[in-house]
Chain A
Amino acid sequence: MKVLLGIGGEDGALDRAIEEAARIGDDLTVAVVDSPEGDAATEELERYVRDLVASVGVGAQIRRVPGHGGSRLVEMAEQEGFDRLVLDGGARSPLGKVEIDEIAEFVLLNSRTSVTIVR
């Protein structure tokens, strides 16, 4: 299965999301979308993701995907024939409330590709 893992921040449980995405599919692409904190943060995030993918030990193509995160992921999944879109859903508030960010909301509401939120 061809899987697209979308990453726009490192608040959640990225290592688990990478492991789960690799478990679901045998052909994994990791898309690093623009961080809301700016270009420097996005570059930092991409470095972090590259290191993390290497340390988790899964094979994946890692791509930077500029623009509106949610819509770019939905578009990319459809145009390139991905079977599943995977997002990290591990972010929690100080109180422990689950946080659904703008990327996840957009993808859930607009994606025609099935979506997996990793907890």
Chain B
Amino acid sequence: MSPGRERPYPDEPAERFERPPISFTDADGRPVELYAYEGRREGTDSRDRSPPSGPSPESDGAFAPEDAFAALVAMYVDFDPADRAQGIPPPGEERIREWLDRILGGGQDVIAVVDGRAVGHATLVPDGKGAAELAIFVLHTHQGAGIGSRLIAALLGQGQQEGVERVWLTVERWNGVAIALYHKVGFETCGTDSFEIEMSIRLS
């Protein structure tokens, strides 16, 4: 975006989205769990997790933070290079770890888990101007089964819960599948004059 221009947002806020944890079965019949990423706690053994703070029994099954970071690294190592967009995820485990260290924990993150493996990740990263940038990744082995739409809705629900008001993203002009997904969930195109298409949504 040109630095001198304010990014427009839709006037009307989007619907309320359900926030994680969420369980569903994807179009290929696989059970999928969506978890909010709760931060990386160095030195915490995943088998020695604290008891859930609330009465909700669902939180007991939550992905432990240590597992989540390692699971995300493993997912991005397996990522099909053809699915990379605008330089992310970066290639190679070391750069993947550096990138995840930089973006995780500062905003909101939701992970899609199938059989204990991360197969999807959606993230909101604060842009320092009161809004957040969104990106979503689904492993090529699990694309086309509806995981992306559930994952992005859950992330927006998490964002609403955490008080995020405005979200934007950029997407490559030729990526029709992604653009359709963003439209479906309520994003509107707000800029086509740069190399990528820009889209935005108002959460509240």
Q: Does chain B have a CB within 8 A of A37? A: yes
Residues of B close to A104: CB separation below 8 A: 195
* Complex Cα–Cα for A105 and B195 (A): 7
* Interchain CB contact under 8 A, B195 and A100: yes
Residue of A nearest to B131 (CB): A94
- Interface hits, A62-119 → B, CB 8 Å: 92-102, 104-105
Complex contacts, B195 vs chain A, CB 8 Å: 99-101, 104-105
Which chain B residue shows the least CB distance to A104? B195
Could you tell me the distance between the alpha carbons of A98 and B90 in the complex, rounded to whole angstroms? 11
Q: Closest CB of chain B to A67's CB: distance in Å?
A: 16
Contacts A94-B127, A94-B128, A98-B86; A38 near B4 (Cβ below 8 A): yes
Is B193 in contact with A102, judged by CB distance below 8 angstroms?
yes
Q: Which of B2, B125, B193 contacts A95 (CB 8 A)?
A: B125
**Docked pose: A61 CA to B2 CA in angstroms:** 27
A-B contact pairs, 16 of them (CB 8 A): A11-B3, A35-B3, A36-B2, A93-B170, A94-B125, A94-B126, A96-B102, A96-B103, A97-B88, A97-B133, A97-B170, A98-B87, A101-B2, A101-B194, A101-B195, A105-B194
Minimum CB distance partner of A89 in chain B: B87
Interface size band for A: 10 to 19
The contact string, 1 if C-beta is below 8 Å from chain A, for chain B 77-103, is 000000001111010000000010011
List chain A residues, Cβ under 8 A from B86. Answer: 93, 97-99
**CA distance in complex: A96, B93 (Å):** 16
B123 within 8 A of A: yes
Give Cα A97–Cα B89 distance, bound, in whole angstroms.
9
Known: A101-B194, A102-B193. A96 touches B3 (CB 8 A): no
Q: Within 8 Å of chain A (Cβ to Cβ): is B74?
A: no
- List the count of A-B residue pairs having beta carbons below 8 Å apart: 57
Task: Answer yes or no: B135 CB below 8 A from chain A CBs.
Answer: yes
B90 — nearest CB in chain A belongs to which residue? A96
Which one of B4, B86, B99, B126 has the greatest number of beta carbons of chain A within 10 Å? B86
A108 to B126, CA, bound (A): 30
Q: Is the CB of A97 within 8 A of B128?
A: no
- Contact B127 A102, beta carbon cutoff 8 Å: no
B89 to chain A, nearest CB (A): 9
B101-150 residues with Cβ-Cβ distance < 8 A to A are 102-103, 123, 125-128, 132-135
Contacts A9-B3, A36-B2, A37-B3 hold; do A94 and B193 have CB atoms under 8 A apart?
Answer: no
Please give, as numbers and ranges, the residues of chain B lying within 8 Å of A96 by CB-CB distance: 87-88, 90, 99, 102-103
- Tell me whether A97 and B87 are in contact in the complex, defined as CB-CB below 8 angstroms, given that A36-B2, A37-B4 are known contacts: yes
A98–B128 Cα gap in the complex (Å)? 17
CA distance A95 to B87 in the complex (A): 10
